[in-house]
Amino acid sequence: MSDRFTIDGSDALEEHLQTICEQVFEGVKAIIPEWQLEGILLGGGYGRGEGGVLRTAEADRPYNDMDFYVCLRGSTWWNERCFDEALHYLS
How far is Cα 85 from Cα 50, in angstroms, rounded to an integer?
30
pLDDT at 57: 94
Q: Which strand (E) or helix (H) includes residue 46?
A: helix 44-48
| Mean local confidence (pLDDT), 19-24 | 97
Secondary structure class of 60 (helix, strand, coil): strand
Domain ranges of the chain: 11-90
Write out pLDDT tens, residues 57-79: 999 999 999 999 999 999 999 99
Q: How confident is the model at residue 1 (pLDDT cuts 50, 70, 90)?
A: low
